[in-house]
Amino acid sequence: MMRPLIFIGTTNLDIICYSKALPSVGQSLMGTIEEFGGGKGANQAVAAARLGGAPYFATMLGEDNAADSLMNGLAEFGIQTSKFCRKPGTTSGKALILVAPDGTNMMGIDAGANEQFSPDDVLAALQDVPEDAVMVVEMGLPAETCRAAFENKGDRFLIFNPAPVRAKLTTADCKLIDIITPNETEAEELTGLQVSSADQAFEAARYLHDSGISAVAITLGANGVVYLDAERRIHQKAFSVDAVDTTAAGDAFNGALAVSVARGMEIEDSLCFAVATASLCVTRKGAQTSMPTEQEVRHFLTENGALKNANF
């Protein structure tokens, strides 16, 4: 039986330019432009929905046409929409993303209505969410809003994705986080330590764990993820794929991790499942449209000889 899922985060309209390379300063490149639903929180919730969850998603949208299309798209993915809010006089968040043929990207974000998501909005969103829920929060929201989610987590299991890093974590914050999921860059920002290898990632994870965070999972792109808690130290390696667009890889990982925790999977299996989901995600264009189904992830794991070794 799956525990309830609640995601709290941002929703954006992604405007993506696919070109032959990432431009240098002053350079213009020809390419193709497409629009997709995006935003870290929305992407993570879609990943969970595609994997068999029926997550709640608390987010703030503007009063514009983009909000209508974004809301409809999220509902079609199976996300529960009762906690969507619209802020009068604002426009929805937007992201401008440049993507190279190898899937690497550059991104600029206009937060729009996301920046108006307040601590009071968090309290309203959590009112009827069961205490056994798995809650995922991302740092695209204002720091005080994230902190309100931490302080009102109750007995819920809190996964915190500190992306992008907007504030340092306090000792009180750290003690409330069950799993933190930075990438290499975010881990460096949070710890001041260089993270360019698995060994260095474990050092940064140890720093964060010693700060009071129960468990740390640092994503390393093509090098997979390192995980550390009071008892375990795990390096889950990545699967070899041909990347097309890495925009939402971290979001796929977080959505899949939340689903696996909600299902009560062992952490070793959870990490394998989440990395496989992210690996499939990067083989497709877009953010939400790139999220694989549970059946696709299971098939991918079987093809890579991983499913038979895990209790999925």
Cβ atoms 198, 220 nearer than 8 A? yes
In what order do the strands lie in the sheet containing 84-86?
Answer: 84-86, 56-61, 5-8, 134-138, 157-161, 179-180, 215-219, 225-228, 233-236
Burial annotation 121-140 (CB, 10 A radius, 16+ → b, else e)? bbeebbeebeeebbbbbbbb
Identify the CATH assignment for 11-22+30-309 out of 3.40.30.10, 3.40.50.280, 3.40.50.970, 3.40.1190.20: 3.40.1190.20
14 as an active site residue: the answer is: no
**How high does pLDDT run on average in the chain?**
94
Answer for the pair 23, 79: CB distance below 8 angstroms, yes or no: no
Specify which residues 33 forms β-bridges with: 17
Catalytic entry in 121, 173, 251, 269: 251
pLDDT band at 308 (very low <50, low <70, confident <90, very high): low
CA angle 91, 93, 99 (to 5 degrees): 140
> Could you tell me the residue ranges of all domains in the chain?
11-22+30-309
Collapsing DSSP states into helix, strand and coil, what is residue 176? Answer: helix
pLDDT at 312: 60
Query: What are the tens digits of pLDDT across the range 106-160?
Result: 888 899 999 999 999 999 999 999 999 999 999 999 999 999 999 999 999 999 9
User: With contact defined as beta carbons under 8 Å apart, do 91 and 66 qualify?
Assistant: yes
For the stretch 38-82, pLDDT in tens is: 999 999 999 999 999 999 999 999 999 999 999 999 999 999 999
pLDDT tens digit sequence for 160-203: 999 999 999 999 999 999 999 999 999 999 999 999 999 999 99
